[in-house]
Amino acid sequence: MKKIGVFVCHCGRNISSTVNIGEVVEEIKKYPGVAFCTDYKYMCSDPGQDLIKKNIKEKKLDGIVIAACSPSLHELTFRNTAEKAGLNPYLTEIANIREQCSWVHSDTKEATPKAISIIGSIIEKTKLNESLSPVKVKVNPKVLIIGGGIAGIQASLDVANSGHKVILIEKSPSIGGRMAQLSETFPTLDCSQCILTPKMVEVSQNENINLHVYSELEEISGSVGNFKVKIRRKASCIDNSKCTGCGICSEKCPVSVDSEFDEGMGKRKAIYTPFPQAIPNKPVIDKENCTYFLKDGKCGVCQIVCSLNAIDFKQKDEIFEEEVGAVIVATGYELYPMENMIEYGAGKYPDVINGLQFERLLSASGPTQGEVLRPSDNKIPKRIAFISCVGSRDPEHHLPYCSKVCCMYMVKHALLYKEHVPDGEAIVFSIDIRTGGKDYEEFLTRAKEEGNILYIRGKPARIIKQGDDLVVWCINTLTGKQLRVKCDMVVLSMSMVPSSGALDLAKALRIHTNIHGFFSEAHPKLRPVESLVPGFFLAGTAQGPKDIPDTVSQASGAAAKVLTLFSSDEISHSPIIACVNEDLCSGCGICVATCPYDAREMDERKKIVSVNEILCEGCGACISACPSGASQQKNLTDNQIDNMIRVLLHSNAGALERE
């Protein structure tokens, strides 16, 4: 039988004012298996800890119970104390007689026997505890970052600059993401590309960053510290070792299609780089529109004009493997489809456009070289209506959430429009203006005053085309008066939705999303950049709508989390996890389906399930789901729990033994 030592803490008067400590010590001393029991005013103080260490050694204790405050406060403290005295830390347990006893009672007659019961139950647990040691696993200090927008760029630079390797993959032909499409950024109105492109160049020049554009994740296996990934590099049909990015191929290509980068406001060729500052500055061939691929080798103009012989129509997709220790998901956002807004004639009227399209019209490098010209007839629009919450905050038909950035970019749009077209009129239709952010409300105030921007409180119901005009039907909800506002152009602030590939990626990575497809963080407040599955981190709008400052902060946060992981060669993991009694396991697989961490693996040959000790978080879900009792939590087995309950159901300690 184990020799258990029990140390009862007064916690000043926190415990001793309600619990009769003397009586507790006397009672516990009589408890079967208890070799030693004493009390002290502050057990967590240095003298208190010395008292514990001294008695572990002198009395040769092989299990101790500290009757004190909640284990969330000092379990670690006392386990370290025990370890210093040569006792396995997992043979130390806490009996919580403060939060669960003295603090919630005022009557000593009630509190004292309850404290004795609580201590008794923990003694029973400790008797069956085993020595355990933390699970250790080697960490491969290399990170995979998925998505080359501002979030992926920032995270890459932060990790790379600390001396660790980064593999950055981006599915489009260039990094830069949505931020590269923006004209100016709120609230300071600095040019988006001017602040972004230096960072893009830094990515391409950083020796620690291995950049793969036109590439997507194909497969992933392994767990935190040691993932194996397969990456598909789509055939760009360009030999990048020969190509200098001179651009003659794009210039001569006869096929012109809507540019994704310009959101359909401008054109691009079938062989193209999405924008002049693209990184890398190498074109790709869009096979779906290229005449060579559509008409069996007819055309080939690019091949003829390329003096460097860099065009390779026969190039195939390439799949390569990498090993990494962590993954950052930074896949960004898309806009909710405009076609869903039938009442606004969106998708039908060319002059009803979305916010990103307007960014391209404002951009100096955009299809109109920064002139605000409406798509239908290239006239300068003299009155623009900006409509907020389009698709957002509409649980009945569209999306219930607020997209967070629209209020602010509408202020910016209206102000920039007034700068471009000083005699133009900007009218913003909004229901609530959300300017929570540093200097945001001031920006709104400035825009309204300096730009003479008219804000109308109301959500328009219809946009009707009358001749050349678009008429916005609305009411001013502050007066109840009807409004029919004739405009030349309408800009809809469409809600943010996750990138189209996000759900498939979530499935491949086996991490969670919310019902809208945004990746779920481990805790909404305290763990905002980690996913629930160890080794996966989140950055930017992949996790939820947010603006550039928030995205950059989150990206740096994710990078810091990755660096914490990489700060030691090994990671250790609590050993209080599930284990399987192979003799009892029937291989039913219920635990595999129940485990939220994917830590259960079925050996199909033996029909027995095992636990991946690295992935298991010790939540216990599989143990309660296991129909045969084969799954047990280490140091919290069914036997231990039974014994604890039996003690608690009897009014005094020792009852178990006397039974």
Partner 1 sequence: MKDKKNLTTEINPEIRDILIEMGAEDIYKCYQCGKCTSVCPWFQVEIYDYPVFKFSLETALGAVASSEDKKELEKEIDLIYRCVGCEACLDQCPHGISTSNILRAARRLLVDFDSYPDTLKSTVQKTHNVGNPFGEHRENRADWAKGLNVPNFKQGMEYLYFPGCLPAYETRNQKVAQATVGILQKCGISFGILGVKETCCGEVIRRIGAENIFKEVTKTNIKEFNNSGVKKVLVTSPHCFTTFKNEYPDFGADFEVLHTTQYFSHLIDTGKLKINKSFNKKVVYHDPCTLARKNNIYDEPRNILKSIPELEFLEVENFNRNLSLCCGAGSGGLWLEWEKEERIVNVRLKQLMDTGADIIAVACPYCLQMFEETLKSMSTDIQVMDVTEILYESI
Give the binding site for partner 1 (CB under 8 A): 342-343, 345, 389, 393-398, 431-432, 457-462, 464-465, 473-477, 480-482
Q: How far apart are CA 105 and CA 14, in angstroms?
A: 11
Amino acid at 632: Q
Of residues 84 and 457, the one with the C-beta less far from partner 1: 457
Go through the chain and tell me how many residues it has.
659
Of residues 256 and 477, the one with the C-beta less far from partner 1: 477
SS3 category, 57: helix
Strands 469-476 and 462-466: antiparallel
Amino acid at 582: E
Residue found under tokens 């055939």: 235
How far are the Cα atoms of 18, 367, 405, 587 from residue 436, in angstroms, in the given order?
48, 33, 10, 53
Sign, Cα dihedral of 288, 290, 292, 295: positive
Q: Which two tokens stand for residue 290?
A: 């290229």
Least distance (Å) from partner 1 to the CB of residue 468?
Answer: 16
Of residues 25 and 399, the one with the C-beta less far from partner 1: 399
Amino acid at 177: G
Of residues 395 and 436, the one with the C-beta less far from partner 1: 395
- Please check whether residue 283 is in contact with residue 255, taking contact to mean a CB–CB distance below 8 angstroms: no
Of residues 220 and 387, the one with the C-beta less far from partner 1: 387
Least distance (Å) from partner 1 to the CB of residue 465?
Answer: 8
Least distance (Å) from partner 1 to the CB of residue 649?
Answer: 47
- Please check whether residue 139 is in contact with residue 225, taking contact to mean a CB–CB distance below 8 angstroms: yes
- Please check whether residue 623 is in contact with residue 630, taking contact to mean a CB–CB distance below 8 angstroms: no
Exposed e or buried b per residue across 274-288, where buried means at least 16 C-beta atoms within 10 angstroms of its C-beta: bbebbbbbbbbbbee
Amino acid at 180: A
Least distance (Å) from partner 1 to the CB of residue 518?
Answer: 20
Of residues 147 and 345, the one with the C-beta less far from partner 1: 345
Nearest to 313 by CA among 286, 335, 333: 286
Least distance (Å) from partner 1 to the CB of residue 650?
Answer: 51
Least distance (Å) from partner 1 to the CB of residue 555?
Answer: 33
Q: Which two tokens stand for residue 175?
A: 């990094």
Of residues 398 and 600, the one with the C-beta less far from partner 1: 398
Of residues 322 and 394, the one with the C-beta less far from partner 1: 394
Half-sphere exposure of 638 (CA within 13 A, CB side): 13
Q: Which two tokens stand for residue 226?
A: 């040691």
Of residues 288 and 396, the one with the C-beta less far from partner 1: 396
Q: How far apart are CA 317 and CA 452, in angstroms?
A: 54
Nearest to 230 by CA among 328, 320, 329: 320
- Please check whether residue 6 is in contact with residue 59, taking contact to mean a CB–CB distance below 8 angstroms: no
Least distance (Å) from partner 1 to the CB of residue 467?
Answer: 13
Least distance (Å) from partner 1 to the CB of residue 394?
Answer: 4
Of residues 151 and 341, the one with the C-beta less far from partner 1: 341
Q: How far apart are CA 334 and CA 503, in angstroms?
A: 13
Of residues 106 and 476, the one with the C-beta less far from partner 1: 476
Of residues 416 and 472, the one with the C-beta less far from partner 1: 472
Least distance (Å) from partner 1 to the CB of residue 464?
Answer: 5
Instruction: Specify the DSSP element, H or E, that contains 616.
Output: none
Least distance (Å) from partner 1 to the CB of residue 469?
Answer: 14
Q: What ranges make up the beta strands (E) of 274-422?
A: 284-285, 318-324, 326-329, 333-335, 352-354, 383-390
Of residues 21 and 471, the one with the C-beta less far from partner 1: 471
> Residues with Cβ < 8 Å from 610, sequence gap 6 or more?
580, 600, 601, 603
Of residues 343 and 569, the one with the C-beta less far from partner 1: 343
Q: How far apart are CA 265 and CA 350, in angstroms?
A: 10
Burial class (CB in 10 A: 0-12, 13-18, 19+), 566: buried
Strands 165-169 and 92-96: unpaired
> Residues with Cβ < 8 Å from 557, sequence gap 6 or more?
528, 529, 539
Q: How far apart are CA 534 and CA 379, in angstroms?
A: 54
- Please check whether residue 366 is in contact with residue 181, taking contact to mean a CB–CB distance below 8 angstroms: no
- Please check whether residue 500 is in contact with residue 107, taking contact to mean a CB–CB distance below 8 angstroms: no
Q: How far apart are CA 149 and CA 562, in angstroms?
A: 18
Of residues 291 and 340, the one with the C-beta less far from partner 1: 340
Least distance (Å) from partner 1 to the CB of residue 391?
Answer: 10
